[in-house]
Structure 1
C-alpha cells in the first residue's frame, strides 16, 4: 500500500482540455505495455464523461489502442453503478435496488395515506419525497437523526406538519423495502462503493486505478477516492481544483466546525464553485497542499492567465474588495466575448451564427453549453436552416415530444368530455392516422372543425352527435358532411369515454385504456423512434407498477399525472450528429471541451437556476441534519461555468428579456463584467449582435398603402342587406372583402358566447313567444329553457340570467301596456325586399306593430346600447329607416301602411331597470333628430348616395373610410391596417 503521506492527488486546470490531458497522461504512464492500459480502471462521474474520455484516447493514440475499463460511479444525482463492481458470485451480495417507478408509486400511496391529497398530487409529492430520502441516504444520515432533532418551538406550523408527515412516511418505508427484498438505489450505491473500498484495501487491482473528474462529495465516494489515492497504482485527478487560491479564501468556504460558545457553525459558502471540491477533499482526509498539477498536456499561457481572472471574479463576497488592487493581468478576460441580445429568439440566432462561423475554419470545434433547453432547441432549429444537424445531448422531456403530447392530449380530451378544443387538438395531432390515410382523416377533421366553432355543444360524444344532428338552415350542408365522417372518429374515442365516465378507477385500468386508444388512433407510428420507444417503456412501467400506488385515481387527474412523470424522462438523441458541433446541458458538458465554448442563457434563474424547494424539510432542518443546502447547485453551476471558460475561445450570451418580462443578468455575468471593467470584451460580440439583427432586417421599410380596390361594375353586387349598408359606407373595403371576395371570419373554437350570439338567442325567444300565445309566463319559461340548455355557457348562465329575466319581464309588460291603447303586433322576423337606385335592398325586421291610427312601428331588439344620435345625423345607423322604407313600398307580404314609429328596445340597463325604449327620430325634430315622417326619406337618400358611389358607380372600396363608424375588425389584418393607419 502507498505511504499515507504521499497520496496520488492531481488536478487539471480549466484552461486545459480535461479528457485530452487525462488520456495523454495515462498513455505516457502506462502505454508502453500493450496491455498496460487495458488492465486499468478509470472511474468517471457519468456516462457522458465515458464517451468524452473514449474520444480523447482515440485522438491521443493515433492508431489502435486497448482502452482501460471506464466506469461511471455517479454525479451528485443518484446513480446505480450496476454490476461493474458487484460480482455475481459474491457470497454476501448487496440486495437489488427497488425499481424507480415502483418506489414512486409506493411512496405516493404512503403520502396519500397520511396527507389528504389527490392521487396525482400524491405522485408529485412522492417525487420530492424520493429526492429528499436520497439526499439522506447519500449523506448517510441515519433515520434516528430525525427523531433526535431538537428544534425548539419556533418552527412554523407548516414545516412542523411537513416534518411530522415525513417522519411517518420514513418510518413506514423500510417495511415496504423489506417486503420487496430490495433497498434504495442510493443505499445500494453507497454499499457497493464502500465494499469496493474495503476490497481494494486488502487486495488492490493488478492494474492502475484512476478516479478522474469525480466531484460527488458523498461519504461513500470520498472513502473510495481516498482508497484509490492511497493505492500503489492509484491516482485521483480533480477537475479544476483551485490549488492557487489564497488560503484564507479557501478556508472561508467551509464547512466549519461548530463554535464551542454558541454550538453553531459559521455558514458555509455553498454557492462558491470550489465548495464541493473542498468538501470532497476534506472528507477524503487530505489537504489541498497534497494535490499536484497533472502535467501531461500543453500549457496555454493566455487561458492560464484568464483562469486567474475568473477565479478572482467568482471569489466569495468578503474577498471581492481585493479587485481594485489586482494587477491588470489578473483582471483581463482575453479570449472571452460577451453578446447581449434583445430577446431569446435573437440570442438563439446569434449562437447559431457563431456555431456556423466556427465551421468555416477547417477542424475547428464549437459547443453550446446551456441549462436552458428551450434555447438549445431554438439553436438546433436555426442550424437546421443551413442543413446542420446538431442534437442536444441533454435530451428533451418526453412530455413535449410527439408521443408524449399525444398521450397527454388524449387524457385531456377525455377528462374534458371531448370539449371542442381538446378534441380537435387530439384529432389533429401529427401522429394520429399517420401514413397514407392521414390526408383523408384531416379532411374529416377540418369538416368537424368548421361546425364546432362558436359556443361549445353539450358535453361528451353524445353532445357532438346532437350538435351534428340538429343544424340551423345555414349550417345544414356543412354539418351533414361532418356527420358523415364523425362515426369513424367516434368509434375510436368511445372506449376512452366509457372509462372516464365510470368514476375513480385503478391506475392500471386507466393506463391500459390510454394505451389501447392511442394505438387505435395512431397505430405503430406512436411507438417508433426514440420518443416512441420511451413512451412505450413508460406506459409499460406505469401499468406494471400501478398496483403499488394509490388504489383509485380520478380519471380527470390522469393528464396531470402523465405530464408530471414524463417531464422527468429525458429522451436523448442516438449517437451521431455533427462531428464538430455539439449542444450540452451542464452535466453533459463536464469534462468536455471545444475550440469555442458558447455559454448561453446567462440570466438569473436560468444560469444559475433557482434552487428547487424541498416541501418536506425546512432549510433549518436540512442544515441540522447535515444535508446539502438548496443553494449548493449554484456552486456547481459556477464550477461548470468556470470550467467551460477555460476553452481557447469562449462566448457568453444572454437576452435582456425573456418571453414575458425583462430579465436580470446572471450573477456570474455581473461579476465578470465588474471585474473586467473596461476590459469587458464586446468587440467581436458587437459584430455578432449586428449580424443577428441584419439577418432578418428587410433593409428599407416599405409599408403597405391603404387598399382601394376598384373591381369592374360587373363584379359589384346588385343586392345588399340593410345590415350591410353601414359597412359599405364606413368601411367599403370590409364590404368588398365580405360580398365580393366572399371572405367570412370563422368563430373561434369553443368561443365564449358573444354579443351576437346573445342577441340571436334573445331574438329566438321573443320570436317564438310572439308567434305563440304571448302569455308573460310563457316568455319567462322560454328564457329559462334556453339558459338551462347544457350547451349554454355556465358563466353566461350565472351572470346573464338575472339581467335577461328582468329585461324580458319588462318586454312582456311593455307589450301588454301597448295593447291597452290599441297597438298590436303585426308580424315578427320576416324577410322583405324592394328595388331602389338600381339594386335590390333586402331586410329582415325583428317586429312590426300597428298603431291605432293604422301607421306602422318598426322595432329592433338590442342586447346592448342603441346607436347614437351622431351616427344617425352622419347618415349611418339607418337600419330602422330602411326597414320602414321597405314596409311602405310593400316589400313585406301582407303588410301595408306608412312607417311612423321607429324604436330600439334595448335590454341594457338604464337607471335601475334592464330594458328601455330609444328612438332615432323625434316628432319635433329636437336634438337634430329627423321627424318620423322624414326618416324613411332620410334613409333612402343616404342609401342611394352610397349605391351610386360603390355599387352602380366606380368609387374604390377604400379601407376604413369612416373609422369612427367602423368598429368591426375582422378584416383589419387582410387590409394590413397597422401598416398604413394613421400615416395618411
Structure 2
C-alpha cells in the first residue's frame, strides 16, 4: 500500500531498479489490478524506459500508469489554448531584440541577436515556471554599479509583458504551470482516490516543484527523491539556508528547499527501499567533502568518525592525465576492457568534445558506444552542408569555399555521376590552384572543361561544369530578405548541390539517415513559422541557422555496444552500471561555468524570486554525488587543455584535500592507491601512440642523383636557390615536385610582384616620346587601376596597393623621364638562354628590361617590389644581374647582339621608389674586413665552376645549405624533414639510382 510521505533512495543505487522493487514490495498485499491504478510520474523519457524494462524483468503483471512530469502541460484544459511553438516565440522575440539593438548599439555584445532572443526566451520561461511576473520586476532595487545597463534591461522586459497577460497564448512553461495550478485546484475540491507517485525529480523547476508539493500533501501521494544524502547531519542541512544568498551550488540544496516548502525536515525523509547502497563508507566521505563552505571547518572533527579510507576507496580510481588526448585514450582502454569482460559501464560527462575523442579512440577496436545524448545536428553531414550554405549565401565564392561544397559527402548523391564528380573535383582543384581565379565563376569552369576538348570525357566535363556553373547565380542573394524567402533560397541551394548533374533531390541522401530526417524536421518547422520571423540579413540568417542546428541533436542509427553507454551528467540518476567513469572533472567543464545573464543581475534575480546561477552548479553537484556512489568508479581529468593548465573540479579538489588531511584514517595512502590505479591506465594509454620499434630521426639529406638525371638548365633567379638550398633544386628539377598554391589564394608578395611588373611593362611599352613627368604620373596611375582591376579580385587590396603606387608615381615618372634621355628600351620581359661551354647545360634569363644607351652600350634594369639585394648578397648569393650582364656580353639576346654592359640598376617599386645603381663590378666591404669585388666575368666563371661541380657524381644537393636566416622556410622543408636534423649537422650524402 502507498502511504503518504517523502521517500528517497541514497546515492549510488540503481534508481529505476530500486524504484520498481520498492513499489512492487509496497503493493504485494494488494490485488494485482491495484498496481494499474497507481499513477507514476517520472522525470525523463529515459527514466520511463528503464522503469518499464525493470517491470518486464519481474514477469507478467499489471503496470502502473507511467507518465512524465514534463507532459503535464500537454493535458487538455478548458479555456487554455495549446502552447505556442517554441520556435515561433523565439522568432518573435528576435524581432523585438533587433529593435532594441538598433536603438542601443553594443547591447548585444558577445551574444548576437538570436543569442539574446534565446536568453530572453529562457528568462521568460523561467519567470513563467517560477510564477514571477513583470510587475514583480518593477519593485526591484537596482544597485548603482552598472545601474544603467540593468535599467535598460528592465525597460526592455516591459516590452514583452504582453506575453504574461491572461489572454496571451502561453508558451510551454506557462502552460505547464497553469495546468499544474488547475490540477491543484481540482484536487482541492475532490482529491484523487488512487495513489500518485512522483519519482526521479529534484523539483528544481518551479512548476515541477509545485506539482511535487501538491502530490506530497495527498492522502496517497508520495515523492521518491533520487540521490538523497542520508548521512548529512542536521547542522549541515541548516547551513544551506544561512546568509543572504542560499547555497544553491550544494548538491542537496533543492531538497532542503522542497522540505521547507512542505514544512518538513530531512528526518522526515524515509528510505523507499532498504537495499543498501554499494559503498556507504564512500558516500559518507563524499558527503563530508561536499559540505557547504560554512561548515567545512568541521572536517577534522567529523573526519575522525569516518571508516578506514583505504577500504572505502578500494573501488575508486583517479586518473590525472597530461592532456585531453591521454585522458580519452585511458577512458577508451577502460571501456574496451569492460566490453571484453561484459561489464556494464557508463561514461558520464558534460564535455561533448571529450566524448567525441573517446568514441574515435574506441573506433580502432570497432566498439560503438551507445551515446544517449547523440550528436549535435550541426556536426552531421546535412547540418554541416546547411551551415556552410547559410554562411556563403550572397557572398563571392572562394576557391576553398567551392571545394568545401564539392567535397561534401552529400554533394551529387542524387546523381549517377557521384564517382565521376569526385574525380572531376580533384582535377578542378589542381587546375584552379595553378591557374586561379581566386573567386571561381562559371566562365572559369567552362574554360577548365574546354582544355580537355580532345579527351573522350570532354562532354561529361562540360555538362558537369555547366551544372556547377548554374550554382553561382543561385548563390546570389540580396542583403535582406523575409525569413520565408531566406529558407526557400537556402534549401534550393542545398537541393541543387545534392541533386548533381543528372539526378533528383529525392534520390539524393540530403534528407536521409538520422541527421537528414532531423534537419528536414527543423527546416520544415522553420519554414512553417517563418511568417512570424520578419526580415533577416544574410549574417543574421546564418546566425539563426547556427543556433537551430546547434540546439538539435540526432542519434546515430548504428548498432551500439550493449554494455558501453555515454550519458550526460543529468542522466546519472538513470544509469545502473557496474562501472561508472566520471570524466572531464575540471572547473569550467564539470561543473560548467554558469552562462552570464544579460538581463538581470544576481541580486536582481534573488529579489525577484528567480533561480540563481549557482542552481545549475548545484544540480551538477547532485549528479556527481549520485554517480560517484556507484559500485566501481573512475574519476578522470586532464591537467592541461589546449590553452593552459586546468583547475581540478571543486568536488575532486575537496575530496583530495579532505583525504590528504586524514592520515589517521589512511587518507593519503588511499589517495596514493587511487592515483596508482589511474597511472596504470595512463601507462597503457601512452603505449597506444608509441611506435613499434625504435624510430630514428632523419639525417640532413644531400641526395646524389645520377648525372644524367641532374638539371640541364637553370634560370638566373634559380641560381640563388642552388647556392642557398640545393635540395629545393633537386626536388623541383629532378623529382618534378612543385608546391601547390594555397587553397585560399591571398594577395601575397608573389602576386604583388607580378602585378607591379605588369604595370611597369605596360607603362614602358606605351610610353610616348618626351613624355612630361606629370603626364607620366597620371598615366602610371591609370595603368595601375586597370591592372589591379584585372588581376586583383580583392577591392580593399586594390585600393591599398593603388595608394602605395600613387605614393611613388611621381618619383618613378621623373626617373623614367631621365632614363628615357639616356637610352631606349630594347628588351622587355623576353626570355632567352645561353649554353655553357663544355657542359650540357643552359642558363636562361628573362630580364625585366635592357636599354641601349646613346653611346651604344647597354644597361640592365630589374624591378623589385621589396628591398633590392645588398652588394654582399649580389657577390655571394644573388647572381641574377651579374649573370644577365655576362649573357649580354656573350650575345645571348639576338635583338641586341653581343654588347658591352655599362651598368645595372635595381628599381624599387615600393617604399620611396628608390633605385640602386651598379656598374658591371659590384663592390662590398664587410664590417672589419677587406673590400670584396666581383665583375660579371668573374660571376660567369664562378657559375660555370658551380655547375661543373654539381655535374660530378660525388656532389650532393644539400638541404638548406646557406639559408639567409634559420627562420626562412623552404617549400621542401617537409620533404627534407627539417626539424629532425639541425643546420649544424653534417649532410648525409646518398647515392640514388
CA deviation profile, 1:610-663 (whole Å, cap 9, x unmatched): 101221222222111010001210111111111110111111111122223322
**Post-superposition shift, 1:198?**
4.4
CA distance in structure 1 between the partners assigned to 2:924 and 2:629 by the alignment:
87
* 2:828–2:850 CA contact under 8 A, matched in 1: yes
- Structure 1 residues 381 and 313 mapped into 2: Cα distance closer, same or farther (>3 Å)? same
CA distance in structure 1 between the partners assigned to 2:516 and 2:829 by the alignment:
57
Residue 173, structure 1, aligned to residue 163, structure 2: yes
**Post-superposition shift, 1:812?**
2.4
- SS in structure 2 opposite 1:981? coil
Corresponding residue to 1:374 among 348, 353, 376:
353
Per the alignment, residue 43 of structure 1 pairs with 41
Correspondences of 1:770-785 after superposition (within 5 Å):
770-773=764-767, 775=771, 776=776, 777-785=778-786
- SS in structure 2 opposite 1:643? helix
* 1:920–1:930 CA contact under 8 A, matched in 2: no
Per the alignment, residue 306 of structure 1 pairs with 282
Q: TM-score, normalised by structure 1?
A: 0.89
Residue 554, structure 1, aligned to residue 537, structure 2: yes
Per the alignment, residue 811 of structure 1 pairs with 812
* 2:902–2:919 CA contact under 8 A, matched in 1: no
CA deviation profile, 1:61-118 (whole Å, cap 9, x unmatched): 2x434432222214xxxxx4355xx3x6x6x364211111111112223333444289
- Structure 1 residues 476 and 673 mapped into 2: Cα distance closer, same or farther (>3 Å)? farther
**Post-superposition shift, 1:898?**
1.6
- Structure 1 residues 40 and 456 mapped into 2: Cα distance closer, same or farther (>3 Å)? farther
Residue 214, structure 1, aligned to residue 201, structure 2: yes
Per the alignment, residue 958 of structure 2 pairs with 958
**Post-superposition shift, 1:924?**
7.1
CA distance in structure 1 between the partners assigned to 2:124 and 2:827 by the alignment:
78
Residue 510, structure 1, aligned to residue 463, structure 2: no
Corresponding residue to 2:179 among 189, 192, 198:
192
Per the alignment, residue 573 of structure 2 pairs with 590
**Post-superposition shift, 1:865?**
1.4
Structure 1: which 5+ residue stretches go unaligned? 75-79, 257-264
- SS in structure 2 opposite 1:811? helix
CA distance in structure 2 between the partners assigned to 1:670 and 1:653 by the alignment:
12
Residue 141, structure 1, aligned to residue 132, structure 2: yes
- SS in structure 1 opposite 2:699? coil
Per the alignment, residue 53 of structure 1 pairs with 51
Corresponding residue to 1:25 among 22, 25, 30:
22
Correspondences of 1:503-902 after superposition (within 5 Å):
503-522=479-498, 523=505, 524-550=508-534, 552-573=535-556, 577-677=560-660, 678=668, 679-680=670-671, 681-698=674-691, 700-773=694-767, 775=771, 776=776, 777-789=778-790, 791-820=792-821, 822-836=822-836, 837-874=839-876, 876-896=877-897, 897-902=899-904
**Post-superposition shift, 1:14?**
0.7
**Post-superposition shift, 1:150?**
4.1
* 1:24–1:297 CA contact under 8 A, matched in 2: no
Per the alignment, residue 383 of structure 1 pairs with 362
Corresponding residue to 2:307 among 318, 324, 329:
329
Per the alignment, residue 393 of structure 2 pairs with 414
**Post-superposition shift, 1:570?**
1.9
Per the alignment, residue 356 of structure 1 pairs with 336
Per the alignment, residue 297 of structure 1 pairs with 275
Residue 343, structure 1, aligned to residue 323, structure 2: yes
**Post-superposition shift, 1:757?**
1.1
Per the alignment, residue 914 of structure 1 pairs with 913
CA distance in structure 2 between the partners assigned to 1:444 and 1:178 by the alignment:
61
* 2:6–2:224 CA contact under 8 A, matched in 1: yes
CA deviation profile, 1:679-727 (whole Å, cap 9, x unmatched): 3221110111111111111253411222232222222221222222222
**Post-superposition shift, 1:330?**
7.3
Residue 269, structure 1, aligned to residue 271, structure 2: no
CA deviation profile, 1:431-470 (whole Å, cap 9, x unmatched): 11126422222233334333444898586xxx62455688
CA distance in structure 2 between the partners assigned to 1:936 and 1:856 by the alignment:
14
CA deviation profile, 1:509-563 (whole Å, cap 9, x unmatched): 110111122122113311111111111111111111111122x211343222200
* 1:599–1:651 CA contact under 8 A, matched in 2: yes
CA distance in structure 2 between the partners assigned to 1:196 and 1:783 by the alignment:
79
Per the alignment, residue 155 of structure 2 pairs with 164
- Aligned Cα root-mean-square deviation (Å): 3.0
Residue 14, structure 1, aligned to residue 15, structure 2: no
Per the alignment, residue 501 of structure 2 pairs with none
- Structure 1 residues 696 and 705 mapped into 2: Cα distance closer, same or farther (>3 Å)? same
- SS in structure 2 opposite 1:553? strand
Farther-moved stretch of structure 1 (383-392 vs 800-809): 800-809
CA deviation profile, 1:830-885 (whole Å, cap 9, x unmatched): 111111032011111011123343222222111111223333333x2111122122
* 1:454–1:753 CA contact under 8 A, matched in 2: no
Residue 365, structure 1, aligned to residue 344, structure 2: yes
Aligned residue pairs total: 937
Farther-moved stretch of structure 1 (148-157 vs 777-786): 148-157
Q: TM-score, normalised by structure 2?
A: 0.89
Per the alignment, residue 242 of structure 1 pairs with 229
* 2:73–2:173 CA contact under 8 A, matched in 1: no
CA distance in structure 1 between the partners assigned to 2:198 and 2:266 by the alignment:
17
CA distance in structure 2 between the partners assigned to 1:655 and 1:930 by the alignment:
60
CA distance in structure 2 between the partners assigned to 1:926 and 1:22 by the alignment:
93
**Post-superposition shift, 1:52?**
2.5
- Structure 1 residues 916 and 294 mapped into 2: Cα distance closer, same or farther (>3 Å)? same
Per the alignment, residue 663 of structure 2 pairs with none
Farther-moved stretch of structure 1 (118-127 vs 265-274): 118-127
CA distance in structure 2 between the partners assigned to 1:477 and 1:222 by the alignment:
77
- Structure 1 residues 937 and 784 mapped into 2: Cα distance closer, same or farther (>3 Å)? same
Per the alignment, residue 81 of structure 1 pairs with 72
CA distance in structure 1 between the partners assigned to 2:767 and 2:205 by the alignment:
86
- SS in structure 2 opposite 1:415? coil
Corresponding residue to 1:440 among 417, 420, 424:
420
Per the alignment, residue 120 of structure 2 pairs with 129
- Structure 1 residues 31 and 7 mapped into 2: Cα distance closer, same or farther (>3 Å)? closer
CA distance in structure 2 between the partners assigned to 1:851 and 1:110 by the alignment:
75
* 2:213–2:258 CA contact under 8 A, matched in 1: no
